[in-house]
Amino acid sequence: MRRRREMLDRIISPRLHDSLLRSVDYARRRFKYFLFLAGLALVMIALARPMLGQRQVRVELPGIDYFIALDVSRSMLAEDAGTTNRLTAAKRALSRLLARPSGDRVGLVVFAGDAFLVSPITQDHGSIDRTIMAMSTISVSKPGTDIAAAIKLAAKSFEAKQEGGKAILIVSDGEELQGDAIVAAREAASQKIAIFTVGVGSPAGARLPDRSSGQLQWAKNEFGTDVVSRLNERVLQQIATAGRGRYAHIGPEGEGVIEVYERGMKLLPKGTHIRQSQDQLEFFQLPLALGLICLFWEMLVNERKRR
Protein backbone atom coordinates (compact mmCIF):
# COMPACT_ATOMS: atom_id res chain seq x y z
CA MET A 1 0.00 0.00 0.00
CA ARG A 2 2.89 2.35 0.76
CA ARG A 3 4.49 1.52 -2.56
CA ARG A 4 1.28 2.28 -4.42
CA ARG A 5 0.95 5.64 -2.64
CA GLU A 6 4.54 6.52 -3.59
CA MET A 7 3.83 5.71 -7.23
CA LEU A 8 0.73 7.92 -7.17
CA ASP A 9 2.77 10.77 -5.68
CA ARG A 10 5.12 10.63 -8.68
CA ILE A 11 2.44 10.95 -11.36
CA ILE A 12 -0.42 12.81 -9.65
CA SER A 13 -0.38 16.22 -8.12
CA PRO A 14 -0.93 16.21 -4.36
CA ARG A 15 -3.94 18.48 -4.72
CA LEU A 16 -5.70 15.79 -6.79
CA HIS A 17 -5.23 12.98 -4.24
CA ASP A 18 -8.38 13.65 -2.28
CA SER A 19 -10.60 13.79 -5.32
CA LEU A 20 -9.12 10.66 -6.96
CA LEU A 21 -8.83 8.48 -3.86
CA ARG A 22 -12.01 9.60 -2.16
CA SER A 23 -13.77 6.26 -2.94
CA VAL A 24 -11.09 4.02 -1.39
CA ASP A 25 -11.97 2.57 2.04
CA TYR A 26 -8.58 1.72 3.53
CA ALA A 27 -10.10 0.00 6.57
CA ARG A 28 -11.94 -2.46 4.29
CA ARG A 29 -8.81 -2.98 2.25
CA ARG A 30 -6.89 -3.93 5.40
CA PHE A 31 -9.76 -6.22 6.40
CA LYS A 32 -9.53 -7.98 2.99
CA TYR A 33 -5.83 -8.55 3.53
CA PHE A 34 -6.52 -9.94 6.99
CA LEU A 35 -9.19 -12.34 5.65
CA PHE A 36 -6.88 -13.56 2.88
CA LEU A 37 -3.94 -14.22 5.22
CA ALA A 38 -6.17 -15.85 7.84
CA GLY A 39 -7.78 -18.09 5.21
CA LEU A 40 -4.39 -19.06 3.78
CA ALA A 41 -3.03 -19.88 7.25
CA LEU A 42 -6.07 -21.99 8.15
CA VAL A 43 -5.85 -23.95 4.89
CA MET A 44 -2.16 -24.67 5.57
CA ILE A 45 -3.05 -25.87 9.08
CA ALA A 46 -5.68 -28.20 7.57
CA LEU A 47 -3.11 -29.58 5.10
CA ALA A 48 -0.88 -30.45 8.07
CA ARG A 49 -3.66 -32.88 9.21
CA PRO A 50 -3.82 -32.08 12.93
CA MET A 51 -4.90 -34.92 15.25
CA LEU A 52 -7.08 -34.54 18.31
CA GLY A 53 -7.94 -37.44 20.62
CA GLN A 54 -8.43 -41.13 19.86
CA ARG A 55 -11.31 -43.45 19.06
CA GLN A 56 -11.91 -47.17 19.42
CA VAL A 57 -12.12 -49.01 16.09
CA ARG A 58 -13.68 -52.47 15.79
CA VAL A 59 -12.14 -54.43 12.91
CA GLU A 60 -13.55 -57.78 11.75
CA LEU A 61 -11.06 -60.07 10.02
CA PRO A 62 -11.93 -63.42 8.41
CA GLY A 63 -9.51 -66.23 9.18
CA ILE A 64 -8.91 -69.54 10.87
CA ASP A 65 -7.50 -70.49 14.26
CA TYR A 66 -4.63 -72.96 14.27
CA PHE A 67 -1.96 -74.22 16.63
CA ILE A 68 1.58 -74.94 15.53
CA ALA A 69 2.79 -78.11 17.28
CA LEU A 70 6.60 -78.05 16.99
CA ASP A 71 8.67 -81.12 17.77
CA VAL A 72 11.67 -80.16 19.93
CA SER A 73 12.78 -83.68 20.80
CA ARG A 74 16.46 -84.64 20.54
CA SER A 75 15.94 -86.39 17.22
CA MET A 76 15.31 -82.95 15.66
CA LEU A 77 19.06 -82.32 15.93
CA ALA A 78 19.77 -84.80 13.12
CA GLU A 79 21.42 -82.95 10.27
CA ASP A 80 19.54 -84.37 7.30
CA ALA A 81 17.36 -81.36 6.43
CA GLY A 82 19.44 -79.89 3.64
CA THR A 83 22.44 -78.04 5.03
CA THR A 84 21.15 -77.79 8.59
CA ASN A 85 19.43 -79.82 11.28
CA ARG A 86 15.73 -80.58 11.37
CA LEU A 87 14.79 -78.07 14.05
CA THR A 88 16.44 -75.14 12.28
CA ALA A 89 14.79 -76.12 8.99
CA ALA A 90 11.41 -76.27 10.75
CA LYS A 91 11.93 -72.83 12.30
CA ARG A 92 12.79 -71.26 8.94
CA ALA A 93 9.77 -72.81 7.23
CA LEU A 94 7.39 -71.66 9.98
CA SER A 95 8.90 -68.17 9.85
CA ARG A 96 8.03 -68.02 6.13
CA LEU A 97 4.46 -69.06 6.93
CA LEU A 98 4.01 -66.51 9.71
CA ALA A 99 5.41 -63.71 7.53
CA ARG A 100 2.54 -64.11 5.07
CA PRO A 101 -0.26 -61.54 5.60
CA SER A 102 -3.50 -63.14 6.81
CA GLY A 103 -6.30 -62.70 9.30
CA ASP A 104 -5.54 -66.03 10.99
CA ARG A 105 -4.91 -66.42 14.69
CA VAL A 106 -2.03 -68.65 15.71
CA GLY A 107 -0.98 -70.46 18.89
CA LEU A 108 2.13 -72.48 19.73
CA VAL A 109 2.60 -75.86 21.40
CA VAL A 110 6.02 -77.52 21.75
CA PHE A 111 6.45 -81.16 22.57
CA ALA A 112 8.98 -83.88 23.19
CA GLY A 113 8.20 -86.51 25.85
CA ASP A 114 5.51 -84.09 27.07
CA ALA A 115 3.63 -81.14 25.53
CA PHE A 116 3.51 -77.54 26.73
CA LEU A 117 1.37 -74.57 25.69
CA VAL A 118 3.86 -71.81 24.93
CA SER A 119 1.46 -69.25 23.46
CA PRO A 120 -2.35 -69.22 23.30
CA ILE A 121 -4.25 -68.17 20.19
CA THR A 122 -3.21 -64.65 19.14
CA GLN A 123 -3.19 -62.37 16.12
CA ASP A 124 0.39 -61.29 16.82
CA HIS A 125 2.26 -63.47 14.32
CA GLY A 126 5.51 -61.65 15.08
CA SER A 127 5.53 -62.75 18.71
CA ILE A 128 4.87 -66.36 17.69
CA ASP A 129 7.74 -66.19 15.20
CA ARG A 130 10.15 -64.82 17.82
CA THR A 131 9.07 -67.48 20.31
CA ILE A 132 9.62 -70.27 17.78
CA MET A 133 13.11 -68.96 17.03
CA ALA A 134 13.93 -69.14 20.74
CA MET A 135 12.91 -72.81 21.08
CA SER A 136 15.54 -75.54 21.39
CA THR A 137 15.75 -79.22 22.29
CA ILE A 138 16.12 -78.29 25.98
CA SER A 139 12.80 -76.38 26.00
CA VAL A 140 11.10 -79.61 27.13
CA SER A 141 13.06 -81.55 29.72
CA LYS A 142 11.26 -84.89 29.38
CA PRO A 143 12.87 -86.95 26.59
CA GLY A 144 10.89 -88.79 23.94
CA THR A 145 8.29 -87.84 21.35
CA ASP A 146 4.60 -87.74 22.29
CA ILE A 147 2.64 -86.38 19.33
CA ALA A 148 -0.64 -87.48 20.90
CA ALA A 149 -0.04 -85.24 23.93
CA ALA A 150 0.55 -82.26 21.63
CA ILE A 151 -2.71 -82.92 19.73
CA LYS A 152 -4.75 -83.25 22.93
CA LEU A 153 -3.25 -80.12 24.49
CA ALA A 154 -3.82 -78.02 21.36
CA ALA A 155 -7.38 -79.34 20.95
CA LYS A 156 -8.43 -78.28 24.44
CA SER A 157 -6.69 -74.88 24.10
CA PHE A 158 -8.99 -73.56 21.37
CA GLU A 159 -11.58 -70.98 22.34
CA ALA A 160 -14.99 -72.55 22.90
CA LYS A 161 -16.82 -69.84 20.93
CA GLN A 162 -14.83 -70.60 17.77
CA GLU A 163 -16.95 -73.22 15.99
CA GLY A 164 -15.27 -73.60 12.58
CA GLY A 165 -11.91 -73.03 10.97
CA LYS A 166 -9.77 -74.84 13.59
CA ALA A 167 -6.60 -76.74 12.72
CA ILE A 168 -3.39 -78.14 14.20
CA LEU A 169 -0.16 -77.99 12.18
CA ILE A 170 2.32 -80.62 13.39
CA VAL A 171 5.95 -80.17 12.33
CA SER A 172 7.92 -83.26 13.30
CA ASP A 173 10.12 -86.10 12.10
CA GLY A 174 7.36 -88.57 12.98
CA GLU A 175 9.38 -90.67 15.41
CA GLU A 176 6.58 -91.38 17.86
CA LEU A 177 7.96 -93.06 20.97
CA GLN A 178 4.87 -92.95 23.18
CA GLY A 179 1.15 -92.20 22.98
CA ASP A 180 -1.26 -92.95 20.16
CA ALA A 181 -1.32 -89.95 17.85
CA ILE A 182 -3.73 -91.55 15.35
CA VAL A 183 -6.41 -92.02 18.02
CA ALA A 184 -5.83 -88.43 19.24
CA ALA A 185 -6.18 -87.15 15.66
CA ARG A 186 -9.51 -88.95 15.25
CA GLU A 187 -10.79 -87.45 18.49
CA ALA A 188 -9.72 -83.98 17.31
CA ALA A 189 -11.43 -84.50 13.96
CA SER A 190 -14.67 -85.36 15.78
CA GLN A 191 -14.40 -81.89 17.36
CA LYS A 192 -14.11 -80.30 13.88
CA ILE A 193 -10.36 -79.76 14.26
CA ALA A 194 -8.32 -80.64 11.16
CA ILE A 195 -4.83 -82.12 11.60
CA PHE A 196 -2.07 -81.24 9.13
CA THR A 197 1.42 -82.68 9.30
CA VAL A 198 4.79 -81.66 7.86
CA GLY A 199 7.68 -84.12 7.87
CA VAL A 200 11.22 -82.91 8.57
CA GLY A 201 14.31 -84.97 7.72
CA SER A 202 14.97 -87.84 5.34
CA PRO A 203 13.87 -91.51 5.32
CA ALA A 204 17.53 -92.52 5.14
CA GLY A 205 18.11 -90.77 8.46
CA ALA A 206 21.20 -89.38 10.13
CA ARG A 207 23.19 -89.83 13.31
CA LEU A 208 22.42 -87.64 16.31
CA PRO A 209 25.24 -85.27 17.28
CA ASP A 210 26.21 -85.00 20.94
CA ARG A 211 28.07 -81.82 21.87
CA SER A 212 27.61 -82.05 25.64
CA SER A 213 31.34 -82.58 26.17
CA GLY A 214 32.28 -79.58 24.03
CA GLN A 215 33.39 -81.76 21.14
CA LEU A 216 31.36 -83.27 18.33
CA GLN A 217 30.47 -86.85 19.20
CA TRP A 218 27.61 -89.13 18.17
CA ALA A 219 24.88 -90.34 20.49
CA LYS A 220 25.01 -94.08 21.18
CA ASN A 221 22.46 -96.55 22.45
CA GLU A 222 22.88 -99.08 25.25
CA PHE A 223 24.67 -101.44 22.85
CA GLY A 224 27.33 -98.86 21.99
CA THR A 225 26.20 -98.27 18.40
CA ASP A 226 25.40 -94.91 16.89
CA VAL A 227 21.78 -93.76 17.17
CA VAL A 228 20.28 -93.10 13.74
CA SER A 229 17.07 -91.08 13.51
CA ARG A 230 14.87 -91.44 10.42
CA LEU A 231 11.87 -89.53 9.12
CA ASN A 232 8.73 -91.66 9.62
CA GLU A 233 6.47 -90.39 6.87
CA ARG A 234 4.02 -93.26 7.26
CA VAL A 235 3.05 -92.18 10.79
CA LEU A 236 2.65 -88.54 9.78
CA GLN A 237 0.51 -89.49 6.79
CA GLN A 238 -1.71 -91.67 8.98
CA ILE A 239 -2.12 -88.85 11.50
CA ALA A 240 -3.11 -86.42 8.73
CA THR A 241 -5.58 -88.92 7.25
CA ALA A 242 -7.16 -89.60 10.65
CA GLY A 243 -7.38 -85.85 11.27
CA ARG A 244 -8.95 -85.15 7.85
CA GLY A 245 -6.01 -83.05 6.79
CA ARG A 246 -3.01 -83.54 4.54
CA TYR A 247 0.69 -84.30 4.75
CA ALA A 248 3.69 -82.77 2.98
CA HIS A 249 7.45 -83.04 3.26
CA ILE A 250 9.06 -79.81 4.37
CA GLY A 251 11.23 -79.54 1.24
CA PRO A 252 14.63 -77.89 0.82
CA GLU A 253 13.28 -74.33 1.26
CA GLY A 254 10.34 -75.02 3.56
CA GLU A 255 7.83 -75.04 0.73
CA GLY A 256 6.03 -78.02 2.27
CA VAL A 257 4.62 -75.83 5.06
CA ILE A 258 3.30 -73.31 2.51
CA GLU A 259 1.81 -76.16 0.43
CA VAL A 260 -0.06 -77.58 3.41
CA TYR A 261 -1.42 -74.14 4.25
CA GLU A 262 -2.44 -73.19 0.70
CA ARG A 263 -3.98 -76.54 -0.27
CA GLY A 264 -5.47 -77.47 3.06
CA MET A 265 -5.66 -75.02 5.94
CA LYS A 266 -6.58 -72.03 3.79
CA LEU A 267 -9.63 -73.89 2.43
CA LEU A 268 -11.17 -74.44 5.87
CA PRO A 269 -14.34 -72.48 6.72
CA LYS A 270 -13.23 -69.15 8.11
CA GLY A 271 -14.48 -67.55 11.27
CA THR A 272 -14.66 -63.84 12.04
CA HIS A 273 -12.05 -62.41 14.39
CA ILE A 274 -12.79 -59.08 16.04
CA ARG A 275 -9.86 -56.81 16.85
CA GLN A 276 -10.05 -53.60 18.86
CA SER A 277 -7.63 -50.85 17.95
CA GLN A 278 -7.21 -47.15 18.64
CA ASP A 279 -7.09 -44.63 15.81
CA GLN A 280 -6.33 -40.94 16.15
CA LEU A 281 -9.10 -38.56 15.16
CA GLU A 282 -8.50 -36.25 12.21
CA PHE A 283 -9.12 -32.57 13.08
CA PHE A 284 -8.56 -30.90 9.69
CA GLN A 285 -12.26 -30.25 9.00
CA LEU A 286 -12.66 -27.22 11.27
CA PRO A 287 -9.60 -25.20 10.08
CA LEU A 288 -10.38 -26.12 6.47
CA ALA A 289 -13.97 -24.90 6.79
CA LEU A 290 -12.89 -21.66 8.52
CA GLY A 291 -10.19 -21.10 5.91
CA LEU A 292 -12.61 -21.48 3.01
CA ILE A 293 -15.07 -19.14 4.72
CA CYS A 294 -12.34 -16.51 5.13
CA LEU A 295 -11.24 -16.80 1.49
CA PHE A 296 -14.83 -16.62 0.22
CA TRP A 297 -15.59 -13.67 2.54
CA GLU A 298 -12.49 -11.88 1.27
CA MET A 299 -13.88 -12.07 -2.27
CA LEU A 300 -17.15 -10.42 -1.18
CA VAL A 301 -15.65 -7.48 0.68
CA ASN A 302 -15.74 -4.30 -1.43
CA GLU A 303 -12.87 -1.91 -0.70
CA ARG A 304 -14.76 1.04 -2.21
CA LYS A 305 -17.01 3.41 -0.35
CA ARG A 306 -20.68 3.39 -1.30
CA ARG A 307 -20.81 7.20 -1.83
Q: pLDDT tens string for the chain (307 positions)? A: 788 878 877 887 777 777 777 777 778 888 989 999 999 999 999 999 888 777 776 666 778 899 999 999 988 888 888 778 899 999 999 999 999 888 889 999 999 989 999 999 988 899 999 999 999 888 888 888 899 999 999 999 988 777 678 999 999 998 877 778 999 999 999 999 999 999 998 888 888 777 665 666 766 666 667 778 889 999 999 999 999 999 999 988 889 999 999 999 988 888 766 666 667 788 889 999 999 999 999 998 887 777 6
Asked: is 59-274 a CATH 1.10.1740.10 domain? The reply is no
Give the Å distances, CA to CA, from 266 to 99, 121, 122, 137, 261.
15, 17, 17, 30, 6
Bridge partners, residue 229, by sequence: 206
108 within 8 A of 68, measured Cβ to Cβ: yes
35 within 8 A of 301, measured Cβ to Cβ: yes
126 within 8 A of 94, measured Cβ to Cβ: no
DSSP state of 76: G
The residues spanned by each domain of the chain are: 2-50+283-300, 59-274
How far is the C-alpha of 242 from the C-alpha of 261, rounded, in Å? 18
Tell me what pLDDT residue 277 has. 64
Tell me what pLDDT residue 60 has. 67
Tell me what pLDDT residue 81 has. 80
- Other Cβ atoms within 10 Å of 260 Cβ, number: 25
Burial class, 27, CB count within 10 angstroms (exposed 0-12 / middle 13-18 / buried 19+): exposed
Tell me what pLDDT residue 7 has. 82
Alpha helices per DSSP H over the chain: 2-11, 17-20, 26-47, 86-98, 125-134, 147-156, 181-190, 233-242, 255-263, 285-300
How far is the C-alpha of 265 from the C-alpha of 202, rounded, in Å? 24
69 within 8 A of 111, measured Cβ to Cβ: yes
